[in-house]
Structure 1
Amino acid sequence: MAWIRRKADKTSLLPEIVLITIVSFLPFKEAVRTSILSKRWSKIWLSTKNIEFNELFFLNPPETDATKQLQRRTLFFDFITHFMDNYRVINTVDKFSLKVSNPESCADIIERCVAFATERGVKELRLDFSDPTWEENEDDDNDHHDALFQLPNHVYRHASLEALELYACGFAMPDMCNLVELKDVSFGWIEMSTNTVKTLLSTLGKLENLSMKKCWNLEHFDMRTQEVGLRRLVIDKCHFVISDYVDLRAPNLKFLKYSGKLGIFEVKALPEVVQEAQLDFTPMPKFEEYGDELCQLLLDLSGVRVLTVCSFLLQALPTGEEQMRMQHDMEVRHLLVNTDLDNQELFGFVLLLSSCVYLEKLTLDIGQGKIYDEHVKPYPFDFAKFCCDQYAIFECVKDNLKVVEINGSRASKNELRLCFYLIQVGCVLEKLIINLAKEEGNEMLEIERHERASLLFDVPKASKNLQIWIV
């Protein structure tokens, strides 16, 4: 915003089409703010091609539902009406997003918004009617919500639509299959069936990206009988009725994110194509020995360059008999671990380091772990013994690891032990970045953590190029 203000006089000399292009690249809130720059800019934002109506931009935390409804009516809905009545472009909307909870009370303005977007040839349409409070119960399997609004019929005739996001918004099958140009589809907070997913994947030939968040009533995710053209797949805390079963043949898959319970999980992707995987099994209510299944999954994804894993995986991975098959088989360059660096997680961590021989960057997000009390460590050693005795020197640490970043660090004993170890054996290590956890209102604790982390500066370094940052 500041750079636009400094250049306002010069940019005001540009043709209007150029100014419209500028505001269309800005987030909608920033585009609106350009109206204060000068008289020339005062109405340019009314031509942006990137429109976002979000009630959260207008509502203060309400004391009552009546207050919220009053704010929506006098601020949010009036703004929407003013914008649409004064919009200066006829057929060039690229992106249109509408987020409003309790849509039943404002169906008329929603209908008008969707019609406004489709009449102007919108390419990307996002409708979000979910309630922000639903996120608080996202790990509750019984937290199911019926669609609060149905996608208007005229949208299915908008054949040029390329991206569609529907949250707490229902849709009609097989009408959805008329949108043959769709490349990107996201569903959230609605009932879905496995047959619906199969039909969409088999019918929409250009579909590249599919995301499902907190969808429920899926039997499973079984795509064994057909190869799909997906490049990106997200399954986020969906509820499977029969079993947590995911089987996918996707030779073009580049990105996979799965968050949910672990069951049978097979992904047939090409090692030379797949780039990134994020695996989060912390919704598992109790510890189960899924070591062999996890080993097979990591082998299926052995070609990924960026891998994010969870605390459950670290604890369960050593319980299988397939561990040796993983050794030196993964192409991972950047490993991200959600962890508490608890001794329960150590052996799984060791297995990953020994398998990722090309690893160049290691990121640890502290405080994101979930330790299962019923889990019994498979081997009697802990971080103190492992790090102090330099139990093993991994190929990746010795030859390739250049950057280590610890986020949310509490400068705990195990964190410092691991850092001591990496500093002493990391021959090519260039950066060690410690981002300390912030504790609002507890400055003394932050100072104590900084002092403990500062001990790292005195550790003998295996790499002459190593720089240490404590933030």
Structure 2
Amino acid sequence: MENLTCIPLQQSMACSKSAKNMVDVFSNVPDTVIDKILEKLPIRMAAQTSVLSKQWERSWLSLIRLSFDSDFHEEHKNEDGSCNWQESSRIISRILLRHNGLVHHFNLYVPDHAIGDQMNLNQWISFLSKNGVQTIRINNSDHAMYITSCIFRCSELVYLELANFSLNPPPTYFHGFTKLKHLELISINFSEQNIFCSLVEKCRMLVTLKLVECTGMDHVVIDTPRLETLILIGYFESLVFRNNVVSLTSISLDLTTMPEQITVETFDSINLLASSCKLESIKFDGYSCQFLAAGSGMRSRPPSVTFNHLDELYLGGLNLSEFAEFRYLLSMIKSCPNIKKLDISILPIPWEIKYDQPILELDYNYKLDHLYEVNIEGIIGSSEELRLVIYLLAISTVLKNVFFKSVNCHTESQLEMYYVLLESQRASSKARVLFL
């Protein structure tokens, strides 16, 4: 019987030649192509390519993008299905220890029940600060821990995103992130009130600032001359813009809790933006409109302002049965003569007739010559909603569509609104009213 374990010499030589050709194929791949391939692979698969050739090993050990995301931790679990954070931490430390060259992008996901003293976060960020890191994303999913002060040594940072950490005052040697353009802080606890303001004012190149559910920053001061986009979600008692906020084009405020004390400071500061910058997009959600309407009501005669460059206006969390909020809504519409898109979100609460409230006079001589789309969400069929839409139809000369999305509005109420609007005067012959 033929010995199947024996390979003829000619066949053996052919296999050897084929293997050699395969090695040559991997060895001749350009470095730029290897880098692109490795960037697309999960960290585990990228590491495994080091066995292909010395060239692949060198590329792996000098990879400028390192991502230890949730998928990475899925590969290291205990028998009960929980993350083996000690093993994950050991692997991350070993990869960084063997790394040769710069690390421009670092992404880290900290899973549930990770133990802080096993994480070596201080060592990792210290390593990054010495290797030209430009982007850091760290998402601590389970609990707040203090971020290491080594983060302030990362002088080349352009993009910084942190979630679920506590932050102490910067060290005395910190003079700002001079290259930082994007700062995103999610559920960050500032241990002292002035930390946020002192941090942001030292980031003079900042273009985008996003703050979500942060604490310890009740009084927010924005003083960054290059800032273009501001997103603020959470609780604050006041928001102030300094005079040099000249580049701002988009602002989004979502006040999640109504402050107990109402002041005119934030209302006045928002109005100053009309003359200090060229805003193109405004979004006020949550309690923001109620807060600003209350501030407006503290002025005997609210100042007349005009946002000439505004294209999109979103006003949410509105209760149109409240005179102050309805007045604020109309004042904002009149302050934005060039808007192209208007979104209004109404609180889905039962409407009550308030006989003691004054009736607001509407200026039908005012025209919106650029508004082509209106979206209204949460309608319940109240007379104030109907009055608002009739007004918008009458003053919008190029309007195409008014979209309604109801919550507790019965079919009969929708039909009644539709018939009333069908007979109402329209400044645009192309205007359509559509119920979604």
TM-score normalized with structure 1 length = 0.64
Residue equivalent to 1:392: 363
How many Å separate the matches in 1 of 2:68 and 2:418? 47
Please list, as runs of the form range in 1=range in 2, the aligned pairs for 1:45-444 lying within 5 A after superposition: 47=37, 49-50=39-40, 81=44, 84-85=47-48, 90=60, 91-92=62-63, 94=65, 96-99=67-70, 105-113=84-92, 116=95, 119=99, 122-129=103-110, 149-151=119-121, 153-158=123-128, 159-168=131-140, 170-173=146-149, 175-193=150-168, 195-196=169-170, 202-220=175-193, 221-223=196-198, 228-240=204-216, 244-268=218-242, 270=244, 272-284=246-258, 287-290=260-263, 292-302=264-274, 303=277, 304-315=279-290, 316-321=294-299, 324-328=302-306, 331-344=309-322, 345-367=325-347, 380-381=357-358, 386=360, 391-393=362-364, 395=366, 397-406=367-376, 408-413=377-382, 414-435=384-405
How many Å separate the matches in 2 of 1:380 and 1:147? 61
Deviations 1:126-185 (A, max 9, x none): 2233659xxxxxxxxxxxx98994525144333232111223365422x32332221111
Residue equivalent to 1:6: none
The aligned amino acid for 2:220 is V
Please list, as runs of the form range in 1=range in 2, the aligned pairs for 1:1-80 lying within 5 A after superposition: 47=37, 49-50=39-40
How many Å separate the matches in 2 of 1:238 and 1:370? 29
Superposition deviation, residue 254 in structure 1: 0.6
How many Å separate the matches in 2 of 1:421 and 1:204? 49
CA 346–205 in structure 1, closer or farther in 2 if over 3 Å, else same: same
How many Å separate the matches in 2 of 1:123 and 1:108? 25
User: Conserved in 1, the CA contact under 8 Å of 2:364 and 2:391?
Assistant: no
Name the larger-Rg structure.
2
User: Conserved in 1, the CA contact under 8 Å of 2:401 and 2:432?
Assistant: yes
The aligned amino acid for 2:298 is G
How many Å separate the matches in 1 of 2:172 and 2:41? 32
Deviations 1:366-406 (A, max 9, x none): 44x899xxxxx9x924xxx55xxx622474x5333222123
How many Å separate the matches in 1 of 2:365 and 2:254? 25
User: Conserved in 1, the CA contact under 8 Å of 2:137 and 2:162?
Assistant: yes
User: Conserved in 1, the CA contact under 8 Å of 2:139 and 2:162?
Assistant: yes
CA 454–324 in structure 1, closer or farther in 2 if over 3 Å, else same: closer
Please report the RMSD computed on the Cα atoms of aligned residues, expressed in angstroms. Answer: 4.3
Q: For 1:238, what is the secondary structure of its paired residue?
A: coil
How many Å separate the matches in 2 of 1:415 and 1:51? 53
How many Å separate the matches in 1 of 2:246 and 2:201? 23
CA 227–83 in structure 1, closer or farther in 2 if over 3 Å, else same: closer
How many Å separate the matches in 1 of 2:266 and 2:327? 14
The aligned amino acid for 1:463 is S
Superposition deviation, residue 449 in structure 1: 7.6
**Structure 2 residue corresponding to 1:463, chosen from 409, 418, 428:** 428
Aligned residue pairs, count: 368
How many Å separate the matches in 2 of 1:81 and 1:458? 66
How many Å separate the matches in 2 of 1:325 and 1:253? 25
Superposition deviation, residue 336 in structure 1: 1.0
Q: For 2:287, what is the secondary structure of its paired residue?
A: helix
Superposition deviation, residue 86 in structure 1: 5.0
Superposition deviation, residue 122 in structure 1: 4.7
CA 92–394 in structure 1, closer or farther in 2 if over 3 Å, else same: farther
Deviations 1:290-332 (A, max 9, x none): 2x11222203432321111135332223232286334335643
Deviations 1:199-245 (A, max 9, x none): 76x332111122222111432233497572211112222111xx612
Residue equivalent to 1:59: none
CA 113–394 in structure 1, closer or farther in 2 if over 3 Å, else same: farther
Question: Identity over the aligned pairs, expressed in percent?
Answer: 15
Deviations 1:110-133 (A, max 9, x none): 44247648938553322233659x
Any unmatched runs of 5+ in structure 1?
Answer: 1-14, 25-46, 53-79, 133-144, 372-376, 440-444
The aligned amino acid for 1:236 is V
CA 409–321 in structure 1, closer or farther in 2 if over 3 Å, else same: closer
How many Å separate the matches in 2 of 1:110 and 1:227? 31
How many Å separate the matches in 1 of 2:412 and 2:38? 50
User: Conserved in 2, the CA contact under 8 Å of 1:309 and 1:337?
Assistant: yes
Any unmatched runs of 5+ in structure 2?
Answer: 1-27, 51-55
